[in-house]
DNA sequence: GACGCATATGGAAGCGCTTCCAGAGCGATC
DNA sequence: GATCGCTCTGGAAGCGCTTCCATATGCGTC
């Protein structure tokens, strides 16, 4: 001692207590008299002591690190805001309680993607894992994780996944319904819908809400042109071109996420359409681009940061041995979404 | 053994060698016969053994974790792509060599921001730190870090910072020159320039390049309207409004980053200007928005991912005790930038 | 006054790995 | 054939912490 970083023993010596006692104070353990606690704290302060996290991890059997799994895909990278926001939220929650966050990009097209995730779990680096789409919708993977009793929470998972592991999401069906309703009230009758990649159940739920709104308004859902994109800006451009060049052009176009909506806007601009008079376009997510674009995008705001934070918090509880969520029910944490009305949707020109 | 995760001792036992030998094989140590190496590897494979990283960290005195410091500022958050890209690059480099990456958002307006960074260093959680602007330009902080001999690399640091610690950046002055040159060749003569926040030296260098190009073309730099923004979309909107509403409107507007350029585009749209005929706007960074926006933005591409990866690699070398960069000189790693010509800049209407 | 039962403190044993140092084997050198 | 120096291998110590268990003290109960 003396030289190098101070250790717990230095603190114990200075405070005149045993090492265990220092440990107890540091970890908020019970049965420590106030006098001793003060002495220890004073010693910690004086020595500028910092626990050695690796030693703590080794001894305690917990790493105090959470992992975030997201899909790495060159294609979707512009879409990265979606993941960044979740990450930022989780990161903040983590640093508040002294946890770290490790992020892992996993290629979703890899045949071994589920194995890769299981390997991350086996590495024992993390106390818990936050899964984002499409991993959060992979029922088989989820079951595997559940089988080894590893703490996990699925973000934006669809209904089926929600019944397997704890999750945090918005009510995508309701959001899709509200968005469509808004368009309906604006006077639209001819719709087109660009879905996202298959397997993203929550995005699919948005379509379900769309269908419900249409039916309720007495419009046959089959009258709407429905295509499937890949969540990317480019796919939005291409599909919008197909849709808008066709006969009987719709007056309103709903996209399963903002990036595709922005792509659609791009195509519309290229075609020289007057926006939003000749075409209303709406998106989903409320990523930063939506208010930057011209015209600013009407969309559904998803509180991604909050969702990331909630996910981390659920994990903290699980890790520290809290009673697992009140069974079946509390398993799915719903956070509120919000319809954000901007200028990309208006009444159709008659 | 038997139950629980296999440890290095289990592997040693199965391979019929000592624990040290296994350690040597795992870490690529010297002096291991081929026969023994094979036996160990086979045992590792059979047992599905994974090293326990916390034990390794504790014993080895190295955490094998790199830290990335970025500025958290509610204002600049839409700008987060800039940081995300650097992070992604660093992350990939890290996972290739079995390192982890921890990210830390530090409020740049906090009075204790330098202290906060020093505290992160003292936590001993990281083997090295990657600093992004504006931290990478904080000479005092850099000197402090250098004084405790902690491995660090500054990303996008300005000239002064580059002489203190290893850094990776593009040649911002040259980039600013090229961009201006492009506009000049297009026929522009009346310019405006929106700078970024003070203290971001590299962004300031872009302006210096602009001045040099103007002088070379025989145009007085003082003839250009110069304002200072804060890198945000909103500041781009506001400042562009001031500039474009003034008399003697410029035909070309150069912005120190893409977000402000996009803001300027937004204002121009609002004013009903024909783009790019009536106004050319160029940005800097080539973030994803620049190709999404209408009209697509002419800008300077910064290889952010590469820069993040390079930064991590420099740290790997430093951490594993490689000879520190060949003195003064190699300290600054320059990576190539690229002028990306899209449609937001054209010849001015005469 | 002996007993029980909380509350407070400490001793010792490890967590799973790496590093330091010692030793064994063996061909080359004089 | 003794000495050197090389390559390969292992024993032991210990990184800095937490956990388990034992012990000491105080106080109410019969």
- Tens digits of residue pLDDT in A9-20: 999 999 999 999
Average pLDDT for residues A37-60, to the nearest whole number?
A: 92
Q: What mean pLDDT is reported for chain A?
A: 89
Query: Model confidence over B57-69: pLDDT tens digits?
Result: 999 888 899 999 9
The most confident of the ranges A1-10, A52-61, A176-185 is A176-185
Share of chain A above pLDDT 90, in %: 65
Share of chain B above pLDDT 90, in %: 65
Where does CATH 1.10.260.40 sit in chain A? 8-51
Class of domain B65-170+305-319: alpha beta
CATH domain B172-301 topology: Rossmann fold (3.40.50)
Q: Is residue A174 within 8 Å of residue A208, measured between CB atoms? A: no
Query: Model confidence over B89-98: pLDDT tens digits?
Result: 998 898 888 8
What is the SS3 string spanning B211-243? HHHHHHCCCCHHHCEEEECCCCHHHHHHHHHHH
pLDDT above 80 for B14: yes
Nearest to B80 among A48, A84, A294 (CB): A84
B311 pLDDT band, cuts 50/70/90, is very high
Q: Note whether A8 contacts B: Cβ–Cβ < 8 A.
A: no
CATH domain A8-51 topology: 434 Repressor (Amino-terminal Domain) (1.10.260)
In the sheet where A252-255 sits, what is the strand order?
Answer: A225-228, A191-195, A252-255, A280-282
pLDDT above 80 for B143: yes
Between CA B50 and C1' C25 the distance (Å) reads 32
Q: Note whether B263 contacts A: Cβ–Cβ < 8 A.
A: yes
DSSP-based three-state secondary structure for B310 = helix
Q: Is residue B53 within 8 Å of residue B125, measured between CB atoms? A: no
pLDDT above 80 for B338: yes
Q: Note whether A290 contacts B: Cβ–Cβ < 8 A.
A: no
pLDDT above 80 for A80: no
pLDDT above 60 for B76: no
Nearest CA among A228, A256, A257, A234 for reference residue A82 = A257
Angle at B115 between CA B164 and CA A84, to 5 degrees: 85
Average pLDDT for residues A196-203, to the nearest whole number?
A: 89
Q: Which nucleotide is nearest to A11 (CA to C1')?
A: D16
Average pLDDT for residues A135-163, to the nearest whole number?
A: 93
Q: Note whether A125 contacts B: Cβ–Cβ < 8 A.
A: yes
**Beta-carbon contacts below 8 Å between A and B:** 107
pLDDT above 50 for A1: no
Determine the angle formed by the axes of helices B19-26 and B34-47, rounding to 10 degrees. Answer: 90
Q: Which residue has the higher pLDDT, B350 or B164?
A: B164
Q: Note whether A37 contacts B: Cβ–Cβ < 8 A.
A: no
Long-range residue pairs from A208-212, CB within 8 A, at least 24 positions apart, any chain: A208/A173, A208/A176, A209/A172, A209/A173, A209/A174, A209/A175, A209/A176, A209/A177, A209/A178, A209/A179, A209/A180, A210/A176, A210/A177, A210/A179, A210/A180, A210/A254, A212/A173, A212/A176, A212/A177
> What's the pLDDT at B3?
57
Nearest CA among B100, B118, B105 for reference residue B62 = B100
Between CA A196 and C1' C5 the distance (Å) reads 65
The whole-angstrom separation of Cα A348 and Cα A186 is 8
**Secondary structure (DSSP) of B228-294:** E--SSHHHHHHHHHHHHHSSS--SEEEESSHHHHHHHHHHHHHTT--TTTT-EEE-SB--THHHHSS
Average pLDDT for residues A123-149, to the nearest whole number?
A: 92
Report the footprint of strand D: residues with C-beta closer than 7 angstroms.
A 4-5, 7-9, 19-20, 22-24, 26-27, 49, 51-52, 55-56, 58-61; B 16-21, 24, 30-33, 35-36, 58-59, 61
pLDDT above 50 for B255: yes
Tokens standing for residue B164: 């203190």
> What's the pLDDT at A350?
58
pLDDT above 90 for A82: no
Cis peptide before B126 (omega within 30 of 0): no
- The bases of strand C with some atom under 7 A from any protein CB are 7-12, 14-20
Where does CATH 3.40.50.2300 sit in chain B? 65-170+305-319, 172-301
């Amino acid at each position: 001692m003396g030289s190098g970083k101070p250790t717990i023993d230095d603190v114990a010596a200075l405070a005149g207590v045993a090492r265990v006692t220092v440990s107890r104070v540091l970890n908020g353990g019970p049965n420590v008299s106030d006098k001793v606690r003060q002495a220890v704290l004073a010693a910690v302060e004086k020595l500028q002591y910092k626990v050695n996290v690796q030693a703590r991890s080794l001894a305690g059997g917990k790493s105090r690190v959470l992992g975030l799994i997201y899909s790495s895909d060159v294609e979707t990278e512009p879409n990265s805001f979606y993941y960044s926001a979740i990450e930022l939220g989780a990161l903040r929650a983590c640093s508040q309680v002294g946890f770290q966050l490790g992020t892992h990009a996993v290629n979703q097209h890899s045949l071994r993607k589920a194995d890769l995730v299981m390997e991350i779990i086996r590495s024992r680096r993390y106390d818990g894992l936050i899964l984002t789409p499409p991993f959060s919708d992979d029922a088989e993977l989820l079951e595997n994780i559940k089988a080894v009793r590893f703490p996990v929470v699925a973000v934006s998972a669809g209904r089926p996944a929600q019944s397997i592991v704890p999750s945090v999401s918005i009510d995508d069906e309701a959001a899709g319904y509200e968005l469509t309703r808004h368009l309906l009230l604006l006077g639209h009758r001819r719709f087109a819908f660009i879905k996202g990649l298959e397997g993203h159940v929550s995005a699919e739920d948005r379509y379900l809400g769309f269908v419900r709104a249409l039916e309720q308004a007495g419009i046959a859902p089959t009258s709407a042109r429905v295509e499937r994109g890949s969540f990317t800006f480019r796919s939005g451009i291409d599909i919008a071109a197909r849709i808008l060049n066709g006969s009987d052009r719709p007056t309103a176009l709903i996209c399963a996420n903002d990036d595709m909506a922005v792509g659609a806007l791009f195509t519309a601009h290229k075609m020289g359409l007057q926006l939003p008079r000749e075409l209303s376009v709406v998106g989903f997510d409320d990523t930063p681009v939506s208010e930057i674009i011209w015209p600013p995008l009407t969309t559904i705001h998803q509180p991604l940061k909050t969702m990331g934070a909630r996910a981390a918090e659920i994990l903290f509880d699980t890790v520290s041995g809290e009673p697992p969520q009140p069974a079946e029910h509390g398993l799915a944490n719903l956070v509120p979404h919000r319809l954000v009305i901007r200028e990309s949707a208006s009444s159709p020109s008659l």
